[in-house]
A and B are shown apart, each in its own frame.
Chain A
Amino acid sequence: MSPEMKGFILVSVIKLLVIFTALLVGVALLTLMERKVAGWMQNRPGPNRVGPFGILQPAADGIKNFIKEETSPAGASTALFMLAPAFSFVPAMMLLAVIPLAAPLPLTFDFTLPLIGRVVHDGLLPISIADLPIGFLFVLAIGSIGVYGIALAGWSSNSKYSLLGGLRGAAQMISYEVAMGLSLIPVLLLTGNVSFSEIITKQQAGLWFVGPLFISFFIFLVAGFAETNRLPFDLPEAESELVAGYHSEYSSMKFSMFMIAEFAHIVTISAMVATLFFGGWDIPFTTWDEQGGLAQTIATHVAFFLKMFFWIFFVMWIRWTLPRFRYDQLMSLGWKVLLPLALAYIMVTAGALWGIERGFGWTTPREQGFALLGLNVVLGYLVFFILDRGRVVRGVGSAGRPVSVAGEG
């Protein structure tokens, strides 16, 4: 094995350890953050007993879950029942592997390690576990595996609540995956590439895609909510209907794995939104961050983290604000609203890009970005204020129906 290969493997292993440790700890802290956010919205302090500001609450929860009794319902299909949490957990963990967390770091070293030998690294080190050329296709593909976890958990538990939750989950995730995949086609059209680093480069050169591809952003966000099974799309769990849905019968660490998977999904979706539509690690209005170096890597990572953090907060904000959809409404939103909208938007974007390039001869990302931004302002107005009024959910047409008041007597 060449020293360069050894160097590559070494930095990859280190990145792997650091990122996954950070993700797992981050997920644990997110459970605390969610409860704090909930407390904040509900005029109560949230957890504050374990450690200062309840900071050790996740540790306490983790320990509690470890020492809880493992239960398995009678008649459960044991193998699948054990496997389902892993099916949920592993893909959720894998998703973050391809997302660039900061600007590439120029890294040069050349030294000899005992047993391993000479290790060499020279050049830019991408700050993601793997900067795959298939980029978001990987995320979509691996994300789809998560549905097996839910469907199998529901089916193997031998419980009716779980079964219904599993069925709902499978149908919901498959439906929204379609819209989610299609919403990313315009991104592909604009960058000509699916790799995340390319997408970020294009956004640095032009505009953040949230402007030029606003409808895509909207569809992706909604579908992302559905993918994470969070309110208002938490029908697979639906605690007031199905007790706890597909994980009703799970206890101890198996339950925790579903929980971790859910939060890891939130992280991934937020990171995707930040990367695809908010420039990833790009710091706006400056090109300083593109020069490379340790300071730039750290600064861009902070920028990325803040963007991601905002969307994580947004997911929690929505979760504690909105009621839940009904199953048929969820399906009609996915298939009758988001899917046609995504398809139509692909056509519109493709046509507009063709027109911009051929008609006006604008080929730089910046020109294209501004032209599409103008188009999206019009489209956004059309979609949200004219087409959509009263269509998404049945009954919105008669919004704010007043009650009459019987007079005296």
Chain B
Amino acid sequence: MSRRTLELSVSTPTMGADGQVRNVPLGVARRPSESVSDDFGAEHMLVNIGPQHPATHGVLRLVVELEGETVKRIIPHVGYLHSGFEKLGEYRHYNQIIPLTDRTDYLAPMANNVAMAMAVEALMGIEITERCRLLRVIACEMSRIISHLVWLGTTGIDLGAFTPFLWMFQQRERIYNLQESWTGARLTTSVARVGGMMADVPEGWEAGLRDFVQTFPTTLREVDTMFTRNAIWIGRTQGVGVIGAEEAINYSLSGPMLRASGVAYDVRKDRPYLGYDEFDFDVPVGAHGDIYDRYRVRLEEMTQSNRILEQALDRLKPGPVNVADPRVILPPKSRAMGDMEAMIFHFKQVMEGVKPPAGEVYFGAENPKGELGYYLVSDGTAKPVRWRIRPPSFINLAALPRLCEGALLSDVIAINASVDIVMGEIDR
């Protein structure tokens, strides 16, 4: 066999049962019953997609076994972005964990910040203020919009349509500017604190958001014109990567992935937090569980998020953002420098951190990509004994081999895009 034949170039030498060294394709643990050869004795082609590839949305690696262009097997490999967030969290005060959450789902950092603060507050039984609640709703829905915008843009690129990507990023830029003026950072927002927010929104910020809310639907309509009835788009997405409702539940999918399959499960509706039950919004639900329905669901979710933002802005009244408990919230620096008690609390806060009672809590929030769960075990000290993330991307990604059954190589890219993964969260 010459070098020219399609040998499995990506391989690791492994010791077989008979003591012989064999070359096994990297990461493909093959059962003896499975053969690399098809009925005609020709070998399938193993294609390594990623971790450096234009369409893997980060450093996901897919080992795809192809027969022609039809996928026979697909194995996702994760871990290239492993940062040990969960372990790091065990050595940090609760408020210090919040910057770590920025970096998990880095396409929707504010939603993660809020979910983390909510989890700790649930553990401590803190009731947040009205303004804080609305600001958090705004932060979550802004995150939902930017996350879906990135999803829509990158999925468009994966299917060959480049232009909407830049339209999406223009709108995303507007939210990023708002994020920046609120938190000082575009990505590492760290906006929430246990018992309140890092800061109130600056002056004129609400007007800026209102401007966005009013003009944003135009872009959504443009994308709708570009994609929704586009024959090529429909041909590429309808009936591709289908997963039924029952199976979707069995795979523990959540978020738009689950709703596209026809299950109307949305944490905001089913286990309302942040007073989402007071807002008037709809949960879009698909029927076919294919890429097209996921696209429609996400597109509609952006419209609904926009509605929520509008309502939240209407309700936003001046008032305190943080709870008035100095054991939870850092006293302002101006007071800490002049007031003895404030200074003591400031010192204790910085040195010791927030101390929730011993116990454990699971807080699930409807993140853009699905249900984000934070599970905390506290032993009464200022640091968690265990911090566990339920990353929606990771669990949704687990269904990828099932979704790609019998698909073509091009479909793998489209399906992978439709899952909406973010590697920071998967590898955490």
Q: 6 A-B pairs, CB-CB below 8 angstroms?
A: A38-B163, A238-B160, A321-B226, A392-B231, A405-B285, A407-B282
Q: Determine the chain A residues whose CB is within 8 A of the CB of B238 once the complex forms.
A: 394-395, 398, 401
Q: Determine the chain B residues whose CB is within 8 A of the CB of A323 once the complex forms.
A: 156, 159-161, 227, 230, 232-233, 236
Q: Which residue of the partner chain B has the closest CB to A400?
A: B229
A326 close to B235 (CB less than 8 A):
yes
Q: Determine the chain B residues whose CB is within 8 A of the CB of A403 once the complex forms.
A: 284-287, 293, 296-297, 300
Which single member of B69, B228, B285 contacts A327 (CB below 8 Å)? B69
Contact with B along A201-232 (1 / 0, CB 8 A): 00000000000000000000000000000011
Contact with A along B146-170 (1 / 0, CB 8 A): 0000000000111111110011001
A232 close to B232 (CB less than 8 A):
yes
Report, as a range, how many residues of chain B touch the other chain: 35 or more
CB interface residues, B 277-317, toward A, < 8 Å: 280, 282-288, 292-293, 296-297, 300
Q: Which residue of the partner chain B has the closest CB to A329?
A: B235
Q: Determine the chain A residues whose CB is within 8 A of the CB of B266 once the complex forms.
A: 406
Q: Which residue of the partner chain B has the closest CB to A43?
A: B170
CB of B408 closer than 8 Å to a CB of A:
yes
Rounded to whole Å, the gap between the CB of A175 and the closest CB of chain B is 15
Q: Which residues of B contact A (CB under 8 A)?
A: 3-4, 6, 45, 47-48, 53-55, 69, 156-163, 166-167, 170, 226-239, 264, 266, 269, 280, 282-288, 292-293, 296-297, 300, 408-411, 413
Q: Which residues of A contact B (CB under 8 A)?
A: 38, 41-44, 75, 77, 158, 160-161, 163-164, 231-232, 234-235, 238-241, 243, 320-329, 392-396, 398-409
Cross-chain pair count, CB within 8 angstroms: 146
B167 close to A43 (CB less than 8 A):
yes
B296 close to A402 (CB less than 8 A):
yes
Which single member of B163, B239, B282 contacts A394 (CB below 8 Å)? B239
B235 close to A327 (CB less than 8 A):
no
Q: Which residue of the partner chain B has the closest CB to A160?
A: B47
Distance A231 CA – B166 CA, assembled complex (angstroms): 17
A158 close to B297 (CB less than 8 A):
no
Which single member of B233, B264, B410 contacts A241 (CB below 8 Å)? B410
- Beyond A164-B69, A323-B230: 14 further Cβ-contacts under 8 Å? A42-B163, A42-B166, A42-B167, A234-B160, A323-B159, A324-B159, A324-B232, A325-B232, A393-B231, A399-B234, A401-B238, A401-B287, A402-B296, A404-B287
Q: Determine the chain B residues whose CB is within 8 A of the CB of A238 once the complex forms.
A: 160, 410
Which single member of B159, B229, B293, B300 contacts A405 (CB below 8 Å)? B300
Question: Taking A41-B163, A42-B167, A327-B69 as contacts, is the C-beta distance between A164 and B236 under 8 angstroms?
Answer: no
